[in-house]
Amino acid sequence: MKSTLTPGKIQHLEALSDERGVIAALAIDQRGSLQKAIGASKGQEATDQMMREFKTAVSKVLTPYASAILLDPQWGLEAAAARHKDAGLLLAYEESGYDNTRDGRRPDLLPRLSALRLKEMGANAVKVLLYYSPFEDPGINDEKHAFVERVGAECVACDIPYFLEFVGYDPEGLSEKSLEYARKKPEIVCRSTQEFSKERYHVDILKVEVPVNLAYARGSSACQGEFAYTKEQVLDEFRKAAGLAAKPFIYLSAGVSNQLFTETLGWAAEAGVNFSGVLCGRATWLDGVPVYAKGGIAALEEWLLKDGVRNIRAVNECLRAARPWYAFYGAGSHKELVAR
């Protein structure tokens, strides 16, 4: 496959990757959900200072084990400055959550920012999260397509990679944790992957959900009885979704436990899919929230040095099966890609 990446974008992607060309990235761009988690654990509203110091501790302790870190410009810039010197930086461009005043989980961008301004803040890539379902009203999805195109054009203009994270949902209101949604999820992931692989969006890295819910996969440690797919069907769904990706893709952890995420990556490896890494967040550091709430920053750093490092190393071990993002284009190195 021919690459449409510029030398500038390739250089940034190299900064976000490990020595093998795999993206082993840590995510802590959570905002509303992290505020709620800290607030619930402390029994009080999470302050700006709490948000900044939690993110900074995670960045300082864990980025020596990551190729990059994803942060937000609201509370994450101190954490960006505290990251390991070899870790690249992704910055989120979207507002936390989605527009609750209208139907369709429509996105908004952070005010007074642009792809250019994120690059000037030191970002090696712009990341956008989009809630998306191919079963949504066509007019709503057309609005979302234009939104993704607009950000892509900005990233082209300032020569910075574009990471698009699309998270599925059911327009009829099915819970994403339900058996019924588990049965629909493979088609949602496959059709979304196919859509945003189109060149018109100028997405460089697809940040994708796994195409199944392992809680309903027979043979998974998370399956407690009811199942939506056998193991062979799971492996087939992994291959089907990967086959529809026309751009390099990485998996997101989607808030599951470290144990379940590493198990999931094991199934992806068994399926033989050509994923290029991960952007893993809560599966690495979420259990540190109550530690921080009870014992403060010193207790959190102690927990991160032991449990957080163990978690990120467990994910990194699974990345032995990942393939370099530039291999997606048939290249043996980023330099070979530049030379084409």
Domains with residue ranges and CATH for the chain: 7-339 (3.20.20.70)
Average pLDDT, integer, range 170-185:
96
Among 20, 7, 12, CA closest to 322:
20
Question: How confident is the model over 273-330, as pLDDT tens digits?
Answer: 999 999 999 999 999 999 999 999 999 999 999 999 999 999 999 999 999 999 999 9
Question: How confident is the model over 46-95, as pLDDT tens digits?
Answer: 999 999 999 999 999 999 999 999 999 999 999 999 999 999 999 999 99
Determine the pLDDT at residue 169.
97
Determine the pLDDT at residue 273.
97
The span from the CA of 287 to the CA of 71, in Å, is 19
Question: How confident is the model over 225-270, as pLDDT tens digits?
Answer: 899 999 999 999 999 999 999 999 999 998 889 999 999 999 999 9
127 pairs with which residues across the strands? 92, 163
Question: How confident is the model over 186-231, as pLDDT tens digits?
Answer: 999 999 999 999 999 999 999 999 999 999 999 999 898 899 999 9
pLDDT tier at 1, thresholds 50, 70, 90: low
Which residue in the block uniquely carries the two structure tokens 């290249």?
331
Which residue in the block uniquely carries the two structure tokens 């029994």?
43
Angle between helices 231-243 and 179-196 in degrees, nearest 10:
20
Is a pLDDT exceeding 90 seen at residue 23? yes
Tally helices (H) and strands (E) across the chain: 13, 8
Determine the pLDDT at residue 2.
63
User: In the chain, what's the furthest Cα-to-Cα distance?
Assistant: 57
